[in-house]
């Protein structure tokens, strides 16, 4: 297996597993691998497709929690649709290393956020304006880098929701936003014919590892789930940061 193909497979394994486990995060874990061998437009396009494909089974897992409160997800989702074209427009102006640093920064920020979570304020009452702002920002990041779930995940962590209710917001939100983003990216040329075999391979690998992630998710307690995601985010973010700043590392 040549190096380029190895990066694609590694990204698909990492992205598929974390999406199955957490309901988001495919781009956070996969895009750093893809950007090693693909230009930003194709790398983001690939990570977005994998996010959608690996996210669909997870939506089925939390369908009961989703149907119990669909308005909660809608408050995030509708503003996000407006943010997608903004993010896609910005994509053409960002260099690969800048994009990798952005992703590494989000991963480290995410881990630090959860480490401090117990001392951060909790919102018991509804916050529709805040939900909309976070949703729009996630839409921008979804179009830019497939990172639609990062900010909503942090925001939802401030709510007293168990992991199934949190996932009932994040998983369908990500699937819808990234499906729209993939459509927009397709019109921008993110999926040339020569990339289709790589896309097919990555989808198969990611779908398999997503099922492993779902298997692990079902067997974790809320606390174990939280700490596993924190550890994965921190470690992966630091590795990506070091590799970007020092390619020989």
Tokens read off for 127: 């916050």
Tokens read off for 17: 């597993």
* Higher pLDDT pick, 165 / 180: 180
CA 219 to chain centre: 22
Model pLDDT for residues 143-157, shown as the tens digit of each residue: 888 778 778 887 887
Q: What is the domain partition of the chain in residue ranges?
A: 3-245
Report the pLDDT averaged over residues 166-179.
Answer: 84
Q: Smallest Cα–Cα separation from 37: which of 239, 208, 175, 194?
A: 194
What is the model's pLDDT at position 83? 93
Q: CA-to-CA distance for 7 and 26, rounded, in angstroms? A: 14
178 burial class (0-12, 13-18, 19+ CB within 10 angstroms)?
A: buried
What is this structure's pTM? 0.76
Other CB atoms within 10 A of residue 93 CB: 9
Average pLDDT across the chain, whole number: 83
What is the model's pLDDT at position 119? 67
Given the structure tokens 């497939």, which residue do they identify? 146
Least confident among 20-24, 130-134, 136-140: 20-24
Report the pLDDT averaged over residues 34-38.
Answer: 88
Q: How far is CA 83 from CA 7, 113, 126, 136, in A?
A: 30, 24, 22, 5
Residue 109 has pLDDT above 90, yes or no: no
146, 44 contact by CB (below 8 A): yes
């Amino acid at each position: 297996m040549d190096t380029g193909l190895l990066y694609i497979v590694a990204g698909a394994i990492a992205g598929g597993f974390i999406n199955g486990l957490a309901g988001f995060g495919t781009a956070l874990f996969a895009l750093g691998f893809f950007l090693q061998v693909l230009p930003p437009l194709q790398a983001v396009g690939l990570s977005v497709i994998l996010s959608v494909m690996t996210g669909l089974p997870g939506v089925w897992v939390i369908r009961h929690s989703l149907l119990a409160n669909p308005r909660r997800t809608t408050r995030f989702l509708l503003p996000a649709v407006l943010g997608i074209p903004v993010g896609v427009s910005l994509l053409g102006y960002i260099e690969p290393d800048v994009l990798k640093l952005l992703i590494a920064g989000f991963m480290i920020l995410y881990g630090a956020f959860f480490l401090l979570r117990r001392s951060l304020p909790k919102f018991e009452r509804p916050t529709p304006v805040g939900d909309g702002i976070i949703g729009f920002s996630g839409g921008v990041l979804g179009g830019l880098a497939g990172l639609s779930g990062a900010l909503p995940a942090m925001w939802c962590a401030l709510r007293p929701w168990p992991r199934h209710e949190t996932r009932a917001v994040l998983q369908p939100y990500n699937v819808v936003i990234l499906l729209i983003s993939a459509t927009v990216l397709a019109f921008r040329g993110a999926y040339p014919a020569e990339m289709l075999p790589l896309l097919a391979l990555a989808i198969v690998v990611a779908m398999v590892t997503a099922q492993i992630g779902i298997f692990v998710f079902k067997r974790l307690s809320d606390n174990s789930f939280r700490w596993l995601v924190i550890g994965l985010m921190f470690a992966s973010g630091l590795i990506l940061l070091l590799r970007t700043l020092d390619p020989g590392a």
